[in-house]
Structure 1
């Protein structure tokens, strides 16, 4: 199989880079041990039918390429400093380990090989925590050793050696400061609880800037900071249902804390009975719905469109894989994403999220609105009660990625019956712009594949977009 030699070669390259890492050695070693375990299984793939495993191996190859880039980034102090300045290195390890775990589970399904203990979530978290502590100790030892060398060279006749030692010491101090800050931020987010906000703490505009079937959005101020205030629309007949939806969304927003999911600041409940008011105070995104941004006349460069696509895919992946029970958004479309002042995309509208188990109990996740039709998979268009699952959501994600790339509305002006004919019977895909990067065209078309099995996972979409982003930077 074409992917196996490439995967084995990548694993060997990672092993080579591992000997040169200057920081986070324990986490890199753990990453390598998991890759080695996967290599045992990959080598067993030689005699299997290619169609059974080629898709899994293709995704694994891309994950290993991203893992190699991560390990390489710890081979020089300059690249280490750049990495920790740009983002939380611990999150990068977590993401790569999550993707390796995805591959492990897929390989186990194909081979029925019992090596799940290595990738068991609770074991990984304990191991990762221990590795992080050991890496911090190692960094302190490097710092102490560097100080000893610095003391020995105080009277040295070679000023270049002394200057280099001072630069390394400064780099280590800066890296440690950033790591401590990141660790505190991660710890505080895990302990975060929903704050109950008093109405007197809020300032709210009198007119909403957005109205949906179930809610109204107002711009406001909380703690001298611009916020969005979502007010749930209630009728006397279903006040209890409104309260349940309100609490479900607040709890889900609080649970799934990510740069690509709209942040919740707290909730506010006023009144009693049928006069009850339910408010969620959340992050304010200056440019509003992604759909409106894409429909504006502002020209977006491909680098910006790829970044927005990556943000979109990361949000969906976070829902699908970051918790013990993965959730589905059930309403992935360009109005479910908001855009902040830096054009970073964030997922909102989490009130309808469900686990696949709960969806199975309820038989389906219906999307009856005409505006929802373009986002339905071929199977949903053909069968009203088709079982909604992760592959349906990836199809919807593919349509959103098409919107970002084309800056157009899907099937604009086409009536719902004709959409079904074109998508289900004719297997039609709306074309992408001629200047769209070739790899991005292939990825979006795979997301929109007719057969659910041919659609990639949300994690694989993130992997591919990371590579496309690097290609855009080097172009």
Structure 2
């Protein structure tokens, strides 16, 4: 496939990255292949060929590149890296539909033989706001690479067929496991899942990314039960001031400062994580007997929080209370949360408390004053 007189490449392999050094027409180029641990090696040639076609067939000036970026037939994505991520839809093979929503459908499929998830927006629902959300998700996802963040493969930005392609997570969402399959996390497994999420979120925060919609539905599991953070449609790169405004996310998991449209920072994600952690512990929907709006009013005006079951491991109960403090400054960072969870996991061990049944009491949300 390649003329080796023109291409020389070497590999440096990390856990999820492959970097290829290419000598092309006397110039050294670097190509980053994402998610290398699951990419079939036969795909590498295709990806490198795509890169060479993109970069060597007709060199473009900076002015020409800027014109391409604002092609009215494409959604404009800020072009600040040399990563090749634009996907030709003809190379995608759709298999079965995994999920469907108001604005798009999720399919299992393949891309050059690799199993992938394809999130495609419904053309009739695409408007300027949805285009902005789509562009934001692509912009953020192509920048992040961590074992606890769902791996971005590429995207189709040509209207009207907008789609995002990621690694396929065969275990589905934590939400479906808890609330549809009625699954139960034993304590050691719960702690492992919580640590996975915390590591993914810590990575995002270290890169100044606020997720803004952290909830069980946006946590996906692979075949090895590794939990990864997904769905960056409303995520944002933190402003230079460190604070942001505007309501976003989902009420049941939303921090009070976000509900109130107050300035907020990364600690809003910590609050949402606390609600998710309670959800993992109890298997219950937060504030299940309230409407989302009623829950939001209670969280802000009455400092409403879910009830922690009486049999909860003491340090875990303490962590829950810390994460959902009304004052964001009093909530721990994810680096601290990881340390606490790892310490609890050490104490519990692999044969820790096994919750064979979901606790029967204490799940109805109550008013709690801090």
With structure 2 as the length reference, what TM-score do the two structures score? Answer: 0.68
Cα distance in 2, alignment partners of residues 366 and 184 from structure 1: 34
Q: Could you say which residue in structure 2 is the equivalent of 1:262?
A: 150
Cα distance in 2, alignment partners of residues 426 and 236 from structure 1: 37
- 1:351 matched to 2:233? The reply is yes
Q: Could you say which residue in structure 2 is the equivalent of 1:216?
A: 105
Of residues 304, 328, 333, the one that matches 2:210 is 328
Note closer, same or farther for the CA distance 1:307–1:237 as it changes in structure 2 (3 Å cut).
Answer: closer
Q: Which one has a larger percent strand, Structure 1 or Structure 2?
A: 2
Note closer, same or farther for the CA distance 1:415–1:195 as it changes in structure 2 (3 Å cut).
Answer: closer
Of residues 82, 89, 94, the one that matches 1:199 is 89
Q: Could you say which residue in structure 2 is the equivalent of 1:374?
A: 252
Q: Could you say which residue in structure 2 is the equivalent of 1:465?
A: 341
Cα distance in 2, alignment partners of residues 453 and 406 from structure 1: 27
Of residues 233, 243, 246, the one that matches 1:365 is 246
The offset of 1:288, in angstroms, is: 2.0
Of residues 179, 187, 195, the one that matches 1:302 is 187
Structure 1 SS opposite 2:216: coil
Q: Could you say which residue in structure 2 is the equivalent of 1:415?
A: 291
Check conservation: 2:103, 2:125, Cα contact below 8 A. Answer: no
Q: Could you say which residue in structure 1 is the equivalent of 2:175?
A: 291
1:267-312 deviations in whole A, cap 9, x for unaligned?
Answer: 2345x5xxx2112211111132221112222332111111111111
Question: RCO greater where, 1 or 2, for CA within 8 Å and sep 6 or more?
Answer: 2
Q: How does 1:86-125 map to 2 (within 5 A)?
A: none
Check conservation: 2:210, 2:235, Cα contact below 8 A. Answer: yes
Instruction: Give the number of the structure whose alpha-carbon radius of gyration is greater.
Output: 1
Cα distance in 1, alignment partners of residues 328 and 281 from structure 2: 22
- 1:278 matched to 2:162? The reply is yes
Cα distance in 1, alignment partners of residues 232 and 31 from structure 2: 19
1:388-439 deviations in whole A, cap 9, x for unaligned?
Answer: 3222221111111111111111001212454245433433332233443221
Check conservation: 1:285, 1:338, Cα contact below 8 A. Answer: yes
The offset of 1:446, in angstroms, is: 0.4
Check conservation: 1:378, 1:450, Cα contact below 8 A. Answer: yes
1:332-361 deviations in whole A, cap 9, x for unaligned?
Answer: 111121122222211111132213317989
Structure 1 SS opposite 2:285: coil
Note closer, same or farther for the CA distance 1:300–1:185 as it changes in structure 2 (3 Å cut).
Answer: same
Q: CA RMSD in A?
A: 2.9
Q: Could you say which residue in structure 2 is the equivalent of 1:406?
A: 282
Structure 1 runs of 4+ with >6 Å offset: 358-361
Structure 1 SS opposite 2:246: coil
Q: Which runs of 5+ in 1 are unaligned?
A: 1-179
The offset of 1:453, in angstroms, is: 1.9
Tell me whether 193-202 or 408-417 shows the greater mean CA deviation.
Answer: 193-202
Check conservation: 1:262, 1:283, Cα contact below 8 A. Answer: yes
Q: Could you say which residue in structure 1 is the equivalent of 2:313?
A: 437
Q: Which one has a larger percent helix, Structure 1 or Structure 2?
A: 1
Structure 1 SS opposite 2:154: strand
Count of residues paired in the alignment: 281
Q: How does 1:383-394 map to 2 (within 5 A)?
A: 383=260, 385-394=261-270
Note closer, same or farther for the CA distance 1:203–1:302 as it changes in structure 2 (3 Å cut).
Answer: same
